[in-house]
Amino acid sequence: MKAFAYEEAHGLADFALTLRDVADPVPGPNDLLVSVRAFACNPVDTKIRTIRSGSGGAPVILGWDAAGVVQAVGADVTGFAPGDQVYYAGDVTRAGSYAQLQAVDHRLVARKPATLDFADAAALPLTSLTAHEAMLERGIVYDEESVVLIIGGAGGVGSMAIQLMKALTPARIIAMAARPETIVWAQAMGADHVIGRALAQEIAALGLAGQLHAIFSTTHTSDYLADIPALLRPFGHLMVIDDPASLEIKPFKQRALSVHWEYMFARAMFGQQPERQGATLAQIASLVDAGKLRATRTRTLPASTDALRETHAALEAGTVMGKVVMVW
Protein backbone atom coordinates (compact mmCIF):
# COMPACT_ATOMS: atom_id res chain seq x y z
CA MET A 1 0.00 0.00 0.00
CA LYS A 2 0.94 3.67 -0.20
CA ALA A 3 1.44 5.62 3.01
CA PHE A 4 2.98 8.88 4.20
CA ALA A 5 5.68 7.83 6.63
CA TYR A 6 9.04 8.76 8.20
CA GLU A 7 11.84 7.11 10.19
CA GLU A 8 13.15 9.58 12.76
CA ALA A 9 11.28 12.00 15.05
CA HIS A 10 11.68 15.54 13.78
CA GLY A 11 10.46 19.11 13.93
CA LEU A 12 8.54 21.05 11.33
CA ALA A 13 11.65 22.62 9.81
CA ASP A 14 12.93 19.14 8.97
CA PHE A 15 9.57 17.77 7.79
CA ALA A 16 10.37 14.27 6.55
CA LEU A 17 7.08 12.57 5.70
CA THR A 18 7.22 11.01 2.24
CA LEU A 19 4.79 8.95 0.19
CA ARG A 20 6.16 5.44 -0.08
CA ASP A 21 5.27 1.79 -0.49
CA VAL A 22 4.94 -0.05 2.81
CA ALA A 23 3.68 -3.50 3.71
CA ASP A 24 -0.07 -3.92 4.02
CA PRO A 25 -1.22 -4.13 7.66
CA VAL A 26 -2.20 -7.58 8.89
CA PRO A 27 -5.44 -7.36 10.92
CA GLY A 28 -5.64 -9.15 14.26
CA PRO A 29 -8.65 -11.15 15.46
CA ASN A 30 -10.45 -8.04 16.77
CA ASP A 31 -9.48 -5.80 13.85
CA LEU A 32 -11.07 -4.42 10.75
CA LEU A 33 -8.90 -3.83 7.71
CA VAL A 34 -10.14 -0.53 6.32
CA SER A 35 -9.53 1.02 2.93
CA VAL A 36 -9.01 4.64 3.99
CA ARG A 37 -10.82 7.09 1.71
CA ALA A 38 -10.18 10.25 3.74
CA PHE A 39 -8.25 11.21 6.87
CA ALA A 40 -8.14 14.33 9.02
CA CYS A 41 -5.14 16.00 10.64
CA ASN A 42 -4.99 16.88 14.33
CA PRO A 43 -2.53 18.50 16.76
CA VAL A 44 -1.67 15.06 18.14
CA ASP A 45 -0.13 14.23 14.75
CA THR A 46 2.37 17.05 15.09
CA LYS A 47 3.20 16.11 18.67
CA ILE A 48 3.81 12.45 17.85
CA ARG A 49 5.97 13.46 14.87
CA THR A 50 8.39 15.22 17.23
CA ILE A 51 8.79 12.36 19.72
CA ARG A 52 8.24 9.02 17.95
CA SER A 53 10.78 7.29 15.74
CA GLY A 54 10.37 4.11 13.75
CA SER A 55 11.61 0.81 15.13
CA GLY A 56 12.36 -2.65 13.83
CA GLY A 57 12.60 -1.38 10.30
CA ALA A 58 9.02 -0.12 10.35
CA PRO A 59 8.48 3.61 9.67
CA VAL A 60 6.02 5.76 11.59
CA ILE A 61 2.60 6.34 10.04
CA LEU A 62 0.67 9.17 11.71
CA GLY A 63 -3.04 9.95 11.64
CA TRP A 64 -5.89 9.06 13.97
CA ASP A 65 -9.06 10.25 12.22
CA ALA A 66 -10.39 8.38 9.21
CA ALA A 67 -13.33 7.21 7.15
CA GLY A 68 -13.32 4.36 4.69
CA VAL A 69 -14.64 0.99 3.62
CA VAL A 70 -14.12 -2.30 5.45
CA GLN A 71 -12.03 -4.68 3.34
CA ALA A 72 -11.73 -7.60 5.76
CA VAL A 73 -12.66 -8.55 9.33
CA GLY A 74 -10.79 -10.49 12.00
CA ALA A 75 -11.97 -13.82 13.37
CA ASP A 76 -13.45 -12.34 16.56
CA VAL A 77 -15.11 -9.30 14.98
CA THR A 78 -18.87 -8.92 15.32
CA GLY A 79 -21.19 -6.31 13.87
CA PHE A 80 -19.15 -5.47 10.76
CA ALA A 81 -18.70 -6.96 7.30
CA PRO A 82 -16.67 -6.16 4.19
CA GLY A 83 -18.21 -3.24 2.34
CA ASP A 84 -19.35 -1.36 5.46
CA GLN A 85 -18.63 2.36 5.36
CA VAL A 86 -17.06 3.31 8.69
CA TYR A 87 -15.32 6.06 10.62
CA TYR A 88 -13.05 6.06 13.67
CA ALA A 89 -10.15 7.68 15.50
CA GLY A 90 -8.30 4.51 16.45
CA ASP A 91 -5.35 3.79 18.73
CA VAL A 92 -2.38 6.16 18.95
CA THR A 93 -0.04 3.27 19.80
CA ARG A 94 -0.67 1.68 16.37
CA ALA A 95 0.03 2.75 12.80
CA GLY A 96 -2.27 5.56 11.77
CA SER A 97 -4.49 6.65 8.92
CA TYR A 98 -2.05 8.52 6.66
CA ALA A 99 -2.24 5.34 4.60
CA GLN A 100 -4.40 3.60 2.04
CA LEU A 101 -5.07 0.70 4.43
CA GLN A 102 -5.34 0.62 8.21
CA ALA A 103 -5.97 -2.11 10.77
CA VAL A 104 -8.13 -0.87 13.64
CA ASP A 105 -9.87 -2.51 16.60
CA HIS A 106 -13.54 -2.86 15.62
CA ARG A 107 -14.65 -1.79 19.08
CA LEU A 108 -13.38 1.73 18.30
CA VAL A 109 -15.32 1.95 15.04
CA ALA A 110 -18.86 2.81 13.92
CA ARG A 111 -20.65 3.10 10.61
CA LYS A 112 -20.18 6.61 9.30
CA PRO A 113 -23.13 9.02 9.14
CA ALA A 114 -25.18 8.09 6.09
CA THR A 115 -25.71 11.74 5.18
CA LEU A 116 -21.98 12.58 5.04
CA ASP A 117 -19.35 11.79 2.45
CA PHE A 118 -16.06 10.26 3.52
CA ALA A 119 -14.30 13.63 3.85
CA ASP A 120 -16.87 15.11 6.20
CA ALA A 121 -17.06 11.87 8.19
CA ALA A 122 -13.28 11.75 8.62
CA ALA A 123 -13.34 15.16 10.32
CA LEU A 124 -15.52 13.98 13.20
CA PRO A 125 -14.22 11.01 15.23
CA LEU A 126 -11.29 12.30 17.32
CA THR A 127 -12.88 15.64 18.14
CA SER A 128 -16.33 14.20 18.82
CA LEU A 129 -14.96 11.54 21.15
CA THR A 130 -12.74 14.05 22.95
CA ALA A 131 -15.58 16.50 23.48
CA HIS A 132 -18.05 13.79 24.51
CA GLU A 133 -15.71 12.18 27.02
CA ALA A 134 -14.64 15.51 28.50
CA MET A 135 -18.06 17.11 28.82
CA LEU A 136 -20.58 14.27 29.00
CA GLU A 137 -18.85 11.31 30.64
CA ARG A 138 -17.72 12.92 33.90
CA GLY A 139 -20.95 12.55 35.83
CA ILE A 140 -21.80 16.25 35.51
CA VAL A 141 -25.52 17.06 35.48
CA TYR A 142 -26.21 20.18 33.42
CA ASP A 143 -29.45 22.09 33.85
CA GLU A 144 -31.01 25.35 32.65
CA GLU A 145 -28.88 27.29 35.12
CA SER A 146 -25.61 25.78 33.88
CA VAL A 147 -23.21 28.10 32.09
CA VAL A 148 -20.29 26.44 30.34
CA LEU A 149 -17.22 28.08 28.81
CA ILE A 150 -15.26 26.48 25.98
CA ILE A 151 -11.77 27.92 25.48
CA GLY A 152 -10.80 27.42 21.84
CA GLY A 153 -14.36 27.39 20.55
CA ALA A 154 -13.44 27.47 16.84
CA GLY A 155 -10.94 24.61 16.92
CA GLY A 156 -11.83 21.05 16.01
CA VAL A 157 -12.61 19.91 19.56
CA GLY A 158 -14.23 23.20 20.54
CA SER A 159 -16.50 23.10 17.50
CA MET A 160 -17.82 19.68 18.48
CA ALA A 161 -18.04 20.56 22.19
CA ILE A 162 -20.33 23.49 21.42
CA GLN A 163 -22.56 21.37 19.22
CA LEU A 164 -22.77 18.41 21.58
CA MET A 165 -23.57 20.58 24.58
CA LYS A 166 -26.32 22.38 22.66
CA ALA A 167 -27.74 19.13 21.27
CA LEU A 168 -27.68 17.09 24.47
CA THR A 169 -27.94 19.54 27.39
CA PRO A 170 -29.90 22.68 28.32
CA ALA A 171 -26.71 24.52 29.29
CA ARG A 172 -25.86 28.02 28.12
CA ILE A 173 -22.61 27.95 26.13
CA ILE A 174 -19.91 30.63 25.97
CA ALA A 175 -17.13 30.13 23.43
CA MET A 176 -13.78 31.90 23.27
CA ALA A 177 -12.77 33.02 19.77
CA ALA A 178 -10.76 36.08 18.78
CA ARG A 179 -10.53 36.46 15.00
CA PRO A 180 -13.54 37.70 12.98
CA GLU A 181 -13.80 34.43 11.08
CA THR A 182 -13.53 32.28 14.22
CA ILE A 183 -16.19 34.36 15.98
CA VAL A 184 -18.57 33.73 13.08
CA TRP A 185 -17.65 30.03 13.14
CA ALA A 186 -18.28 29.63 16.88
CA GLN A 187 -21.64 31.34 16.49
CA ALA A 188 -22.51 28.99 13.63
CA MET A 189 -21.67 26.04 15.88
CA GLY A 190 -24.36 27.27 18.28
CA ALA A 191 -22.54 29.28 20.97
CA ASP A 192 -24.88 31.55 22.93
CA HIS A 193 -22.07 34.06 23.55
CA VAL A 194 -18.61 34.50 22.05
CA ILE A 195 -15.89 36.27 24.00
CA GLY A 196 -12.30 37.26 23.22
CA ARG A 197 -9.08 36.45 25.04
CA ALA A 198 -9.51 38.89 27.96
CA LEU A 199 -11.13 36.02 29.82
CA ALA A 200 -11.68 37.36 33.34
CA GLN A 201 -12.81 40.80 32.16
CA GLU A 202 -15.24 39.48 29.56
CA ILE A 203 -16.82 36.93 31.89
CA ALA A 204 -17.20 39.69 34.49
CA ALA A 205 -18.84 41.92 31.86
CA LEU A 206 -21.43 39.18 31.34
CA GLY A 207 -22.08 39.18 35.09
CA LEU A 208 -20.91 35.56 35.35
CA ALA A 209 -17.73 35.69 37.44
CA GLY A 210 -17.86 32.85 39.94
CA GLN A 211 -20.92 31.32 38.24
CA LEU A 212 -19.57 29.03 35.55
CA HIS A 213 -20.58 25.40 36.02
CA ALA A 214 -17.77 24.07 33.84
CA ILE A 215 -14.84 25.25 31.73
CA PHE A 216 -13.46 23.11 28.92
CA SER A 217 -9.96 24.32 28.09
CA THR A 218 -8.91 22.92 24.73
CA THR A 219 -5.88 25.16 24.16
CA HIS A 220 -3.56 27.66 25.88
CA THR A 221 -4.62 26.48 29.33
CA SER A 222 -1.50 27.96 30.93
CA ASP A 223 -2.55 31.44 29.74
CA TYR A 224 -5.81 31.30 31.67
CA LEU A 225 -5.13 28.96 34.57
CA ALA A 226 -4.65 31.71 37.15
CA ASP A 227 -8.10 33.15 36.38
CA ILE A 228 -10.08 29.94 36.10
CA PRO A 229 -10.73 29.05 39.79
CA ALA A 230 -12.42 32.40 40.47
CA LEU A 231 -14.64 32.03 37.41
CA LEU A 232 -16.08 28.68 38.43
CA ARG A 233 -18.95 28.29 40.86
CA PRO A 234 -18.45 26.11 43.95
CA PHE A 235 -18.25 22.43 43.00
CA GLY A 236 -17.62 23.43 39.39
CA HIS A 237 -15.44 21.60 36.88
CA LEU A 238 -12.40 22.24 34.72
CA MET A 239 -11.69 19.88 31.82
CA VAL A 240 -8.24 20.07 30.19
CA ILE A 241 -6.85 18.44 27.03
CA ASP A 242 -3.69 20.38 26.23
CA ASP A 243 -0.33 20.22 27.99
CA PRO A 244 0.36 23.14 30.34
CA ALA A 245 3.91 23.06 31.66
CA SER A 246 2.51 22.91 35.19
CA LEU A 247 -0.88 22.94 36.89
CA GLU A 248 -1.05 24.33 40.41
CA ILE A 249 -4.00 22.55 42.02
CA LYS A 250 -4.23 24.35 45.37
CA PRO A 251 -6.29 27.35 44.09
CA PHE A 252 -9.06 24.88 43.17
CA LYS A 253 -9.52 23.73 46.78
CA GLN A 254 -11.55 26.50 48.42
CA ARG A 255 -14.47 26.17 46.00
CA ALA A 256 -14.18 22.35 46.01
CA LEU A 257 -13.55 22.36 42.26
CA SER A 258 -12.86 19.26 40.18
CA VAL A 259 -10.17 19.06 37.52
CA HIS A 260 -10.55 16.43 34.80
CA TRP A 261 -7.88 15.44 32.32
CA GLU A 262 -9.20 14.14 29.00
CA TYR A 263 -7.11 11.95 26.72
CA MET A 264 -9.23 10.28 24.07
CA PHE A 265 -6.71 7.50 23.45
CA ALA A 266 -6.75 6.27 27.06
CA ARG A 267 -9.52 3.72 26.45
CA ALA A 268 -7.62 2.00 23.64
CA MET A 269 -4.22 2.28 25.32
CA PHE A 270 -5.35 0.70 28.59
CA GLY A 271 -8.21 -1.51 27.43
CA GLN A 272 -10.77 0.47 29.40
CA GLN A 273 -14.09 -0.33 27.70
CA PRO A 274 -12.92 0.56 24.18
CA GLU A 275 -16.35 -0.44 22.91
CA ARG A 276 -17.74 2.74 24.46
CA GLN A 277 -15.99 4.74 21.74
CA GLY A 278 -17.66 2.73 19.02
CA ALA A 279 -20.99 3.29 20.75
CA THR A 280 -20.34 7.03 21.07
CA LEU A 281 -19.48 7.30 17.38
CA ALA A 282 -22.71 5.46 16.53
CA GLN A 283 -24.57 8.04 18.62
CA ILE A 284 -22.73 10.88 16.86
CA ALA A 285 -23.68 9.43 13.48
CA SER A 286 -27.34 9.31 14.52
CA LEU A 287 -27.23 12.93 15.67
CA VAL A 288 -25.62 14.00 12.39
CA ASP A 289 -28.19 12.12 10.32
CA ALA A 290 -30.97 13.69 12.41
CA GLY A 291 -29.62 17.17 11.61
CA LYS A 292 -28.61 17.89 15.21
CA LEU A 293 -24.85 18.02 14.53
CA ARG A 294 -23.01 19.34 11.50
CA ALA A 295 -19.67 18.48 9.97
CA THR A 296 -16.69 20.66 10.91
CA ARG A 297 -14.53 20.18 7.81
CA THR A 298 -13.36 23.58 6.58
CA ARG A 299 -10.76 22.53 4.03
CA THR A 300 -10.17 19.50 1.83
CA LEU A 301 -6.84 18.76 0.13
CA PRO A 302 -5.58 15.94 -2.07
CA ALA A 303 -3.24 13.87 0.09
CA SER A 304 0.34 14.94 -0.61
CA THR A 305 3.55 15.69 1.25
CA ASP A 306 3.19 19.40 0.56
CA ALA A 307 -0.40 19.44 1.85
CA LEU A 308 0.64 17.63 5.02
CA ARG A 309 3.56 19.98 5.63
CA GLU A 310 1.27 23.00 5.19
CA THR A 311 -1.37 21.55 7.49
CA HIS A 312 1.13 20.56 10.20
CA ALA A 313 2.47 24.13 10.11
CA ALA A 314 -1.02 25.57 10.57
CA LEU A 315 -1.77 23.14 13.40
CA GLU A 316 1.42 24.09 15.21
CA ALA A 317 0.64 27.78 14.72
CA GLY A 318 -2.86 27.29 16.13
CA THR A 319 -4.55 28.86 13.10
CA VAL A 320 -6.72 25.94 11.94
CA MET A 321 -10.46 26.58 12.18
CA GLY A 322 -12.56 23.42 12.23
CA LYS A 323 -10.81 20.50 10.52
CA VAL A 324 -8.52 19.95 7.53
CA VAL A 325 -9.12 16.69 5.66
CA MET A 326 -6.98 14.83 3.11
CA VAL A 327 -8.49 12.58 0.46
CA TRP A 328 -6.78 9.83 -1.52
Interval 269-314: pLDDT, tens: 999 999 999 999 999 999 999 999 999 999 999 999 999 999 999 9
242: burial class by Cβ within 10 Å (0-12, 13-18, 19+)?
middle
**Where do the structural domains in the chain lie, given as residue ranges?**
2-124+271-327, 128-261
The per-residue pLDDT for range 191-216, each reduced to its tens digit, is 999 999 999 999 999 999 999 999 99
pLDDT given for residue 44 in this prediction: 97
| pLDDT for position 57 | 80
Residue 72: CB partners within 8 Å, gap ≥ 6? 27, 32, 33, 82
- How confident is the model at residue 56, as a pLDDT? 76
pLDDT bin (cut points 50, 70, 90) of residue 22 is very high
Q: Is the pTM of this model over 0.75?
A: yes
Query: Is 128-261 a domain of CATH 3.30.70.1050?
Result: no
pLDDT of residue 309: 98
Spell out the alpha helix ranges (H) of 11-107.
43-51
Q: For the domain 2-124+271-327, what is the CATH superfamily, name and number? A: Medium-chain alcohol dehydrogenases, catalytic domain (3.90.180.10)
Strand pairing report for 101-105 and 258-261: unpaired
pLDDT at 267: 98
* Domains 2-124+271-327 and 128-261 in one fold: no
The pLDDT score that the predictor gives to residue 203 is 98
Please state, rounded to an integer, the average pLDDT across all residues of the chain. Answer: 97
Q: Is the pLDDT of residue 55 over 90?
A: no
Question: 3-state class of 35 per DSSP?
Answer: strand
